[in-house]
Structure 1
Amino acid sequence: MARTDYFDDPQAPEPNSIVPAVSVIARDESGRVLLIHRTDNDLWSIPGGAMEPGESVRQAAVRETREETGYDVDVTGLVGVYTDPRHVIAYSDGEVRSQFSICVTATVTGGQARTSSESSEVVWQPVGQLDELAIHPTNRLRIDHALDPGRIQPWLT
């Protein structure tokens, strides 16, 4: 299913749903960030997606990371809760979501890189080379918050 991300765009369609989702910031021993190249919007992203009924945030984060990257992870912390009404996601089936994402940090505990129907590439991107990739501003904000060593409290946006 194709998707279009709108950010601070007056031409964005009106949202008709809010779906709790998770997103995951995983880093390796070199400090690189785990990213996927999304098949639905052709942007680079941190792993993540909608929570399923009966799932905890931790379970959803583990499942989504495994599905999209092939890696198993252990959730280690909270980056923040992201509910910016300026970020609207329109899907080809007519659903238009208002952003609601709980972003966590995680460490890889196993598995190996593999793509999925949602990811055409899985990479460990050096932090200094993040600007080389097309990353949606709301995903980049989460990455920047996770990388900020002076940040004490999760951000709420």
Structure 2
Amino acid sequence: MSPAPLHSVSVAAAVLDPQGRVLAIRRRDNSHWEPPGGVLELGESIHDGLRREVEEETGLRVEPDALTGVYKNMNRGIIALVFRCHLTGGTEQTSIETDRVTWLTPDQVRDRMSEAYAIRLLDALPTDEPRPAIRSHDGEHLTP
């Protein structure tokens, strides 16, 4: 019998403002734009981890409203859960992990993020399509 595959679980927030823009961070380590979020800690609930990661990376507090997508990085075994969230407080700021925190239009998301990260925010935009979206990717591009 082969050993069970190892996976990690990450969470990310899709926070929309009244103008239809989404909250995004630029990572300090690689300058990539992404939704705020990160890996859950052992023993941490999904929503608690989401709140913690967003506040650590952006200085903002959020509350999750709905699961909008489930994404698997097929190369690294990472499952990402993305939630549409609303702001509850805090002050926008960078962190040791982020060098930019900003609000992007959907077109800016498409221009600045790799397909694998852009789709997480684009899937969270209000639509008539069923939710959550379930997708796989290779770390950069969606895979069939």
Smaller-chain TM-score bracket: 0.7 to 0.9
Unaligned runs of 5+ in 2: 136-144
- Match of 2:18, SS? coil
Q: What TM-score do you get using the length of structure 2 for normalisation?
A: 0.83
C-alpha distance in structure 2 between counterparts of 1:155 and 1:78, whole Å: 9
Give the 5 Å matches for 1:128-147: 128-133=107-112, 135-147=113-125
Instruction: Give every structure 1 segment of 4 or more consecutive aligned residues whose post-TM-superposition deviation is greater than 2 Å.
Output: 126-132
Partner of 1:57: 46
Give the CA RMSD over aligned residues: 1.6
Contact 2:24 2:36 in 1 (8 A): yes
Contact 1:145 1:151 in 2 (8 A): no
- The offset of 1:119, in angstroms, is 0.5
Partner of 1:67: 56
Partner of 1:122: 101
- Work out whether 1:23 is the aligned partner of 2:1: no
Partner of 1:45: 34
Q: Tell me the matched-pair count.
A: 131
Partner of 1:11: none
- The offset of 1:17, in angstroms, is 4.8
Contact 1:71 1:112 in 2 (8 A): yes
Letter in structure 2 aligned against 1:143: L
- Match of 2:131, SS? coil
Q: What TM-score do you get using the length of structure 1 for normalisation?
A: 0.77
Greater RCO structure (CA 8 Å; 6+ sep): 1
- The offset of 1:19, in angstroms, is 1.2
Letter in structure 1 aligned against 2:100: E
Contact 2:106 2:122 in 1 (8 A): no
C-alpha distance in structure 2 between counterparts of 1:103 and 1:17, whole Å: 20
C-alpha distance in structure 1 between counterparts of 2:121 and 2:84, whole Å: 10
